[in-house]
Amino acid sequence: MKYYISVNGKEHLVDVVERLGELKVVVDGSPLELDYEEVDNLGQVAVLCDGKSFGLSIEGDEHKLSATIAGHLYAVEIEDERERAAHAAERAQAKGGGLVKAVMPGIVVKLLVKEGDTVTKDQPLLILEAMKMQNEITAPSDGVVKVLHVREREAVSGGAKLVLLTSPT
Amino acid sequence: MFRRILVANRGEIALRVIRTCREMGIEPVAVFSDVDRKALHTRMAYNAVSLGGALPRESYLDMDKVIAAAKSTGCEAIHPGYGFLSENAEFAERVTKEGLVWIGPPPAAIRGMGDKITSRRNMKRANVPVVPGLTDPVADADAALAAAEKIGYPIMLKAAAGGGGKGMRIVRSKNDMASAFRTASGEALSSFRDGSMYMERYLDEPRHIEIQVLFDKHGNGVHFGERECSIQRRHQKLIEEAPSVVITPELRKKMGEIALAAGRAVGYENAGTVEFLYSKGDVFFLEMNTRLQVEHPVTEMVYGVDLVREQLRIAYGEKLGYEQSSIQPRGWAFEVRINAEDPFNNFVPSIGTISNLRAPGGAWVRLDAALYRGMEVSLNYDPMLAKLIVWGPDRMSAIARMRRALQELNVGGVRTGAPAALRVLEDERFQRGEFDTHFLSTLDLSKPSEGEDLIVAAAAAIHRHLLARRKALGTHAASRNAWQARSRARHTQYPPHRPEVAHAKEPQP
């Protein structure tokens, strides 16, 4: 399983593979020999790695946590592949201005607006299924739907134009 | 000596007093609010009396209830700790009238130092140097403008009845005075019901230095040198040390004498602290705190004295029994306050349930705390969770020891200011002793630590992976989130929750 992990804002790709009951990790392409032992079910972890011992204290949920090593705090955000795709879509929308694009290949499951509709920021425009996840694609800003570039059940590639919004008059 | 006393406080200071009582064979009686039924001070006392209520004014600030608790349990004296009723002259008076002993200064001394303006007037009379400024408070912006011309800019506006940084403003020029006065005065009015402001010259490169004094009831007074408390954020102390790098033996002697004169001017008894502002070799009287201070342990470490023991002895009427000449500092001590706050997010308060606790150990390490696993940290009381104190033969070894101890400390469930303290202790300017009260604001705390990113990334991935696997297997116990969610539901409720309500909110796995 691949995880995109941001540590204090810096991103790392970590691949966790279970083999013969053991967990193997590859961090940014390099295998890391890491012995991970949970001390309790409250986030205390004993880690041995590369000739060093680390006592970690982990707090938070599966998406956002903080890890403390020797009094120093690391802010961590975690996405798996599917979450990353969904979040990337959201991020792209926020930046995309008037033109809403597909950031990943997928299938348009349902259109929620039609041309000429007035939409408000964060209003769902359509549902895009990607990696077996249905994602609501929402309006990045208030506006009017000028062009719908896709139809229902249409397969789109990454980067394809979905909806063009114009600013409300 | 007293046989039994009441400790009219909570948290670490209640425990601090209880500990000395135990060592002296005195039976300490605790008081507790509804929220503190399970608190450590309740459990570690000889006896504990419920004050009911949850808010401070319904419990620890309720004079009738506290005095009734002392009388009903046969206590001979009341130790107020710090905060709550400790600097309340009316309470001190009532305690005495009820035939109990007040472990603190006489009410007149509390009043004499009570507000900044009265104390300043008293100090001027006793020839104690004060910061250039007004003896009388000003009530409106026009008067402030006129006064500012005499004092000279920059000027510090302070609430006459203030404390804790509320109602304070620095005014750099004439143009800013009117608006600064209005906002500061407004703050003071809402916090202290008194909008009048005290004005004084604002000093550059200021350092906060204070002198610990003890007076017995027989006219003897001594000082225990200085503490430096310049590492502050929003006028709240974070790191304290004793001695101070800027205080020479000569200056220590001079400040000690000023502090003793200040105390004598108001007929002081028991333990007190005279606060000074140090600026480029000059010292000015700020105020006197008529109680035990939070940071008293650094003095205890350097002078080998138990200040609470001295307080009890003095209150019982014993003589100090030692001279100033026998009081000599040895080595260096630091204290770090561990507050429930997020140093990476502007020190906003952090609330939660203490999920994990690892106390540092080793030689010359002291942890004054009333923490326990499962404790709920709410916004109802002071955010200070613990005080970590270390001693070393010199300043650098004490810094190294404090860094080591902070690395060992682990408080789970809430964010604490400990990483910020660590950042200060790692800073070369701090290590060289080059800092003033603005030091903390010059550090960029917005960026969390770096160094072990890859280990953290790998561990976080495994953590997430195991969580997901357990969720898939549906093992209830595996989900820490349920536990956390329940605690969250609990501590955000106020007044204290009923357990069945909290359980009803527990998410189903």
pLDDT of residue B488: 47
Band (pLDDT 50/70/90 cuts) for residue B494 is: very low
Domain match, B176 and B212 both: no
The answer to whether the Cβ–Cβ distance between A42 and B457 falls below 8 Å is no
Where along chain A do its domains lie?
A: 2-80, 97-166
Could you say which of B442, B463, B494 is where a domain stops? B442
By C-alpha distance, the chain B residue nearest A38 is B463
Is B177 a domain residue?
A: yes
Cβ distance A135 to A128 under 8 Å?
A: yes
B123: nearest Cα among B296, B277, B279? B277
Residue in B344, B457, B466 nearest the CB of A5: B457
From residue B327, alpha-carbon distances to A44, A54, B86, B222, B391 in Å are 45, 44, 27, 9, 17
Structure tokens at B170: 């620095």
> Nearest residue on chain B to A45, judged by CA atoms?
B459
More confident residue, B447 or A146: A146
Cα–Cα distance, B163 to B287 (Å, whole number): 11
Mean pLDDT score of chain B? 89
Instruction: Say which DSSP state B416 is in.
Output: B
Nearest CB neighbour to B407, from listed A1, A16, A70: A70
Query: B266 and B391 share a domain?
Result: yes
Q: What is the pLDDT of residues B138-193, one digit of tens each?
A: 888 888 898 898 888 889 888 887 666 667 888 998 988 988 888 888 888 877 78
Does residue B123 form part of some domain? no
| Interface contact flag, B451 A32, Cβ < 8 Å | no
Between the two ends of chain A, the Cα-to-Cα distance in Å is 47
Choice between A57 and A95, residue whose per-residue pLDDT is larger: A57
Cα distance between residue A57 and residue A38, in whole Å: 10
Phi then psi for residue B171, to 5 deg, are -115, 120
Candidates B68, B64, B34, B61; CA nearest to B50 is B34
CA distances for B126 relative to A25, B142, B311, B384, angstroms: 72, 31, 25, 36
The domain total for chain B is: 4
Tokens standing for residue B138 = 């000003």
Supply the pLDDT for residue A94.
53
Select from B449, B430, B426, B448 the least CA-distant residue to B439. B430
d(CA B478, CA B467): 7
From B356, B453, B481, residue closest to A57, measured CB to CB: B356
Same domain, B296 and B343: yes
Judge whether residue B484 has pLDDT over 80. Answer: no
Contacts of A37 in chain B (CB under 8 A): none
**Residues B330-389 pLDDT 10s:** 999 999 999 999 888 778 788 889 998 999 999 999 999 999 999 998 877 888 999 999
* Whether residue B14 is found in the same domain as residue B62: yes
Contact between chains at A54 and B455 (C-beta distance less than 8 A) = yes
Interface of B with A in 313-352 (CB under 8 A): 344
**Residue B140 has what pLDDT?**
87
Burial of B251 (0-12, 13-18, 19+ CB in 10 A): middle
Question: Mean of the per-residue pLDDT values for chain A?
Answer: 86
pLDDT of residue B331: 98
> Rounded to an integer, what distance in angstroms lies between the CA atom of residue B211 and that of residue B221?
13
Q: What is the pLDDT confidence band of residue B490, given thresholds at 50, 70 and 90?
A: very low
Same domain, B222 and B339: yes
Contact A72 B463 (CB under 8 A): no
How many angstroms separate the CA of residue A165 from the nearest CA in chain B?
Answer: 36
Domain membership flag for residue B366? yes
Residues in chain B: 509
- Mean pLDDT for the stretch of residues B417-423: 93
Of B445 and B359, the structure prediction assigns the larger pLDDT to B359
- B354 or B494: which carries more pLDDT confidence? B354
What pLDDT is attached to residue B428? Answer: 96
CB atoms within 10 A of CB B471: 14
CATH number at residue B163: 3.30.1490.20
B448 pLDDT band, cuts 50/70/90, is low
**In angstroms, what separates the C-alpha of B368 from chain A's closest C-alpha?**
18
Give the amino acid at B10.
Answer: R
How do residues B103-141 score in pLDDT, each as one tens digit? 999 999 999 998 777 888 888 888 889 888 877 788 888
The residues, ordered by sequence, that sit 6+ positions from B150 with a Cβ below 8 Å of its Cβ are none
B399 shares a domain with B338: yes
Beta strands in B282-421, from DSSP E residues, in sequence order:
282-289, 332-339, 341-342, 348-349, 352-353, 356-358, 365-369, 376-377, 384-392, 410-412
Interface contact B412-A23, CB threshold 8 A: no
* Partners of residue A26 in chain B, C-beta under 8 Å: none
Tokens found for residue B338? 């561990």
Of A41, A69, A76, the CB nearest to B480: A41
Buried b (16+ CB within 10 A) or exposed e, B343-354: bbeebeebbbbb
Complex ipTM: 0.74
Same domain membership, residue B488 and residue B402:
no
Instruction: Please say which residue of B442, B461, B480 terminates a domain.
Output: B442
Q: Side by side, which strands form the sheet with A10-19?
A: A30-32, A22-27, A10-19, A2-7, A72-80, A64-69, A52-60, A44-49, A34-38
B297: its two tokens: 């342990």
Q: What is the pTM of this model?
A: 0.78
Pick A2-80's CATH classification: 3.30.700.30, 3.30.70.260, 3.40.50.700, 3.40.50.300: 3.30.700.30
8 Å CB contact between B197 and B167: yes
Note whether B234 and B362 are same-domain residues: yes
B193 is catalytic: no
Residue B502 has pLDDT above 60, yes or no: no
Q: How far is A71 from chain B (nearest CA, A)?
A: 4
Per-residue model confidence (pLDDT) at position A91:
67
Partners of A80 on chain B (C-beta within 8 Å) are 464
State the SS3 of B88-137.
CHHHHHHHHHCCCEECCCCHHHHHHCCCHHHHHHHHHHCCCCECCECCCC
Beta pairing, strands B4-7 & B77-79: parallel
User: pLDDT exceeding 70 applies to what percent of chain B?
Assistant: 91
Taking residues B493-507, report their average pLDDT: 40
pLDDT, residue B499, reads 39
Q: Is the pLDDT of residue A133 over 90?
A: no
C-beta atoms of A72 and B419 within 8 A: yes
How far is Cα B67 from Cα B75, in angstroms, rounded to an integer? 10
The answer to whether B481 contacts chain A (CB < 8 Å) is yes
B488 & B421 share domain:
no
Residues of chain B with Cβ-Cβ distance to A5 below 8 Å are 457, 460-461
- Domains A2-80 and A97-166 are alike in CATH topology: no
- Token pair recorded at residue B265: 């001017």
Q: Is residue B190 part of a domain?
A: yes
Task: Please answer yes or no on whether A34 and B449 come within 8 Å at the CB atom.
Answer: no
Inter-chain Cβ pairs, chain A and chain B, closer than 8 A: 133
Q: Which fold has domain A97-166?
A: OB fold (Dihydrolipoamide Acetyltransferase, E2P) (2.40.50)
Q: Which of B103, B122, B153 is the last residue of a domain?
A: B103
Residue B504 confidence (pLDDT) above 50: no
Is the Cβ–Cβ distance between B167 and B188 less than 8 Å?
yes
Chain A residues within 8 A of B459 when measuring between CB atoms: 34, 36, 45, 47, 54, 56, 58, 67
Dist. CA B270–CA B290, nearest whole Å: 9
The confidence band for B321, taking pLDDT boundaries of 50, 70 and 90, is very high
Q: Does a structural domain hold residue B478?
A: yes
- Is B369 a member of any domain? yes
Interval A143-154 mean pLDDT: 89
The residue segments making up the domain with residue B187 are: 132-201
Pair (B188, B213) in one structural domain:
no
